[in-house]
Structures are given as C-alpha cells and as structure tokens.
Structure 1
C-alpha cells in the first residue's frame, strides 16, 4: 500500500453532551507513522476523542487537522481516516471478501476492481483461504482481521481502533497485539488505538496519551510515561508504582525498585498486609507510617529463601535515584 505519511493534530478539541464536558479543550500532535494508544479509565474522554477524529461524533469546539487540512466537519468517508469498531460490525450475510469490499461497492467501484482490492487486503491479513466464508464461520481473531482488512481497503492515512482486543480471550489478545504492531510497521501509517489496559498500551504503543477527567494528563513515549509519571494519577493508573508522601513532596517509585530487608535494617519499618505469588515475582504488600501502602516485587527465588507472611514486621529500602517527584 503506497500511502503518504501525514500528520494528525487536535487543536483545542472539545465535546459537550448538554452540560457535560466529555472532552475539554484537548490539543495533541500525533507523531506520523506511529502507534499511539489513548489510555485511561472509563468516562475519561478517550473514546469520544477517537470518534470525533473519525467523524462519528461532532466536535463542539476546536479543530481536527490531517495533513494540515481541517477535517473537523467532513463526513467520515472524506477524512482520510478509517475506524475499526470494538464489535467488528461485520455483515453476517456477506462473505469475508464481500465484507472487506463493501465500502468500495458503496463508492461505485466495479466488481472486478473490488474483488482485486479485497484479495490484496485479505493477503495482507493472511485470510486469503477464507475469502468465501461467512463471519459466523470464523474465530474471534479471524473476524478481527476481516474488520482490519475492511478498514484498510479505503487506504486511510490514519487507522482508528476502538478497544479492538477487548472481545478476545487473553491468549488471543496477546497474539493479536503482535499482529497489530507488525501490521502498523509494515503499512507505515499512523494507528490510534483506544484502550483501558495498561499492559496493552505498553506492549503496542510508540506513544501513550493518558486521559483523565476529559483532559490529557500526560503524553509521551511509552517508556517515559511508565518510568517518569508526572502526576499521582498517572503513576497509580499505569501500575507498577508506589506513590509515597515524603517531607519534600509526593514521589513515585517502581515496585521492583523497593527491597525488603530485616526489621530496622531499611529506611522504613513496615508490616506485611498481603502476599501475592505472581510467577517470576512475589508481590509483598505492606504498610508504613502514615498508613501508606507500599508494594515490593521480590524475585520468587529470593522470596522463598526468606518468606514473609501477613503481620510480619519488615524493613523497606530503595535507592534515592529511583524516586521520581510528582508535580500533582
């Protein structure tokens, strides 16, 4: 697919539903040819943002620019974007090939060209041998790839994905993450993917945009957002961090950077509140002064050489260079 890489930008985009503000003056420039995940809890505004980019929701204020062209008020088919929906929305009475070619039929493309372009897309997603099947004869993962092929046949500059993995079982979800990532790299276009799963975002994204209460709380490369959260919300929502109040302010520290020591041998005394075995690590949940909860991830071999139990008194310590000060 020969597609020109284009920039996508949101400029003070706002969405109101009556008196409720779902998206509040959001501005963001998406890196071209990148995989971006919009991440956040339910109701934070991420799906409304995606649907406004797609043209399935009107914007209340602001502008959406693609290739420096204002697409804010164009119909979905004229924007240069394509959207893959959470439930795939395949037509049950149409074959795989006809589902993929449907948008071209609506545009009046002749049958021969439609079939050729559908075959190209099915080869891209490795479904050539299933072209004549109906959707209910496919697995969940195969249905997802049909939906992908149908979105890509319009040759979009940006592909929008609304929680595309949520209907899959955990094993298939991990496999499809790899397929999506490889497909984005092969096509070289921008993917914008909405999810509420932190692991999914970290596995897929070049860039993560964390939304909360209708605004962007933090955006940046996936590793930076995880390792250097700016706010208490981002640190806690991304997971893997403790938020600790010290005299100088609030700090985040990764759970795997906290060491468990003998009582009185660490920087803090603590009491174990729970133990969770997680395979390669054991999660030791504890409580320190001020009723603050702290989690330490201990390698399983180290833990079982000197196990702890709820109620045990322990020490906690960490290297000060691993503390990351939060701004809010």
Structure 2
C-alpha cells in the first residue's frame, strides 16, 4: 500500500454527562489490517467507531491516522469513510449516481465521477446494475453498492458499523468473504464493528473485545479464541467452559473435553444433546463444577452416543486448561 494508514487511539474517552461510554482506550491498528471491534450492546464499540469517523466528538484523548492527529477534524477531512448499518441509498438516483454522489458534492466533473463510479462497481461485481434504482436490488446488492460508495473517496481507513447485520445468514457468510477479498485487494485499513463472534473470528487480523467501555483483549483471532485473557472474553467469545480449579478461573475449550461412559474422570450427568451437523454439543451437569458443554465431532459421538440423563465421565488434558486473569 502506498500510504501509511496506521490507526492509533490514544487514551480515547467519551462521556455523556456522568456516564462513561468509552474509558481511556489505547489501540494500534497496523496499516492495511482488518480490525473487528467486538462486544455486546452498550460496550462502547460503535461510539469508538463514530469517534474515529468524527461523527462523535472525543471527550478526551486522540485519534491518529497515518501518523497525523485527526481528532478535531471534520469527517470529510480525516481520510476515513464510514459505511453505516442502514445503507441509506438515495431511492431516486441510479446506482451509478448513488456511488458517485460524494464526488458530485466535491465538484468533480460528471464524466470523471461516473468513470470512478464504474471502477468501484466493477470492484464489487455490480457493473450490470449501474442504471438500476436501489428498490430494484436485493439487500446483498444494496450492501455492495453502499460499499462502493464508501470506497470511491479513496479513504485511508474504511469504517463499517455492523454492515452485515441486515442480511440473511447465508448471504452474511458470503459477504464476509467478499469484504475480506476487497480489503486485501485494496490494502486499506478496515475497522468493523460487530456483535457476532463468528464474523470477527472469520474476518479480522486483529480482534478487539470490548466490555463496559474498555478493551478486555486485543489480539489476532486465533489468540483471542485459543487463549482468552479474561473470564469475560472466554464467555463472550464462546466455545469455552469457565471453571474454578481451586486457585482461580480457568477456561477449557468445549471441543477439548472428552465424554466417556466409564473410566477415570470428572463425574457428570448429560442434560441435553444438540446436533449441529459436523459436531454434536453435549450439555452436562458436573457435581463439582456446575454446567459444562462438550462439543464432539459427529462421527465420534454417533459411534457411541450418550443420552439425556446418562451418567458419564469427563476428562481433558492439563495443557488444555487455560488460566484467566482475575
């Protein structure tokens, strides 16, 4: 990528009266990286994105992009572009004119702005729809148009606020792949807000898990899933059991727990079975540790299945128990 698009947040803070929405967060996103801000509703992720965009003023701290302080600049002068959850396409304009609209506002001549719009529509595989109106497109197609419109200003960083939430599950998975492909081709820094753990793990070079206005963990996706730092991250990211071994909380991945009909181990009762296709989720009640979940490959489960109410033994390797910060 030709220009530096490193994004850095320095003690970034947002207060609404006495309420602290974002609490002095520090974050560095490498130039050209795909970053997902992940967390439950009200954790501060969308407020953080809006402060990066300039749609929300920071109460304290700084936003740096490409080594320049952009904290006080209006959105149009920051080098960022934002793609909103609602695509907000103009219903009376053609797809080409929708994409070119921001260039029209900047006074770019019609021939040039339509040529640039054509480039962007080709990038998102929407060339054939240039003359249509938004109402003639599906939700997935409208999303591609909104993406093209966000990219036409050639931003250093593209900011995406839950861009896939309005799509059906099948299309959401397909569009994840499209977003990642376009991000790689353009080499832009992407910052993507989501509450979907699957989305963040599938897309991000850097997953930032937020809780109550703070960053609980910022790391590559595999590290966040394989080595959650806190109990909150382990529970929110999913796929883990949090147990107390007597000296503090430990996370054990559900797919690392063996369920046996005999032998040595931790006694438990099967509460429920959920068939998930490639895997089977087994809900368990262990006398000493409470409710646990084991996830087994379907072949292994059906070779010797267990049923609700059955007594079983559980075991896992010591190295699969991951110590959590208090």
Q: Normalising by the residue count of structure 1, what TM-score does the alignment of the two structures yield?
A: 0.97
What aligned pairs does 1:8-23 form with structure 2 within 5 A after superposition?
Answer: 8-23=7-22
Of the structure 1 ranges 79-88 and 120-129, higher mean CA displacement relative to structure 2 is found in: 120-129
Structure 2 runs not aligned, ≥5 long: none
- Which position in structure 2 is the counterpart of 1:199? 198
Q: What secondary structure does 2:202 align onto?
A: helix
Q: How many angstroms does 1:198 deviate by? A: 0.4
The one of 296, 319, 323 equivalent to 1:325 is 323
- Which position in structure 1 is the counterpart of 2:207? 208
Runs (4+) of structure 1 exceeding 6 A deviation are none
What aligned pairs does 1:228-239 form with structure 2 within 5 A after superposition?
Answer: 228-239=227-238
Q: How many angstroms does 1:193 deviate by? A: 0.3
Q: What secondary structure does 1:145 align onto?
A: helix
Kept in 2: contact 1:208–1:221 (CA 8 A): yes
Instruction: Tell me how far apart the structure 2 counterparts of residues 172 and 262 of structure 1 sit (CA, whole Å).
Output: 41
Q: How many angstroms does 1:27 deviate by? A: 0.7
Q: What secondary structure does 1:121 align onto?
A: helix
What aligned pairs does 1:198-277 form with structure 2 within 5 A after superposition?
Answer: 198-263=197-262, 265-277=263-275
The one of 285, 288, 310 equivalent to 1:287 is 285
Instruction: Tell me how far apart the structure 2 counterparts of residues 282 and 223 of structure 1 sit (CA, whole Å).
Output: 22
Instruction: Tell me how far apart the structure 2 counterparts of residues 183 and 316 of structure 1 sit (CA, whole Å).
Output: 44
Q: Normalising by the residue count of structure 2, what TM-score does the alignment of the two structures yield?
A: 0.98
Instruction: Tell me how far apart the structure 1 counterparts of residues 150 and 142 of structure 2 sit (CA, whole Å).
Output: 13
Q: How many angstroms does 1:81 deviate by? A: 0.2
- Which position in structure 2 is the counterpart of 1:164? 163
Q: How many angstroms does 1:42 deviate by? A: 0.3
Matched residue count: 326
Q: How many angstroms does 1:55 deviate by? A: 0.7
Instruction: Tell me how far apart the structure 1 counterparts of residues 235 and 24 of structure 2 sit (CA, whole Å).
Output: 24
Instruction: Tell me how far apart the structure 2 counterparts of residues 62 and 5 of structure 1 sit (CA, whole Å).
Output: 21
Kept in 2: contact 1:3–1:189 (CA 8 A): no
Instruction: Tell me how far apart the structure 2 counterparts of residues 199 and 41 of structure 1 sit (CA, whole Å).
Output: 14
Q: How many angstroms does 1:307 deviate by? A: 1.8
Q: What secondary structure does 2:107 align onto?
A: coil
Q: How many angstroms does 1:301 deviate by? A: 2.1
Structure 1 runs not aligned, ≥5 long: none
Kept in 1: contact 2:14–2:23 (CA 8 A): yes
2:44 aligned with 1:45: yes
Of the structure 1 ranges 283-292 and 250-259, higher mean CA displacement relative to structure 2 is found in: 283-292
- Encode CA deviations 1:103-133: one digit per residue, 9 max, x unaligned: 0111111111111111111111111111110
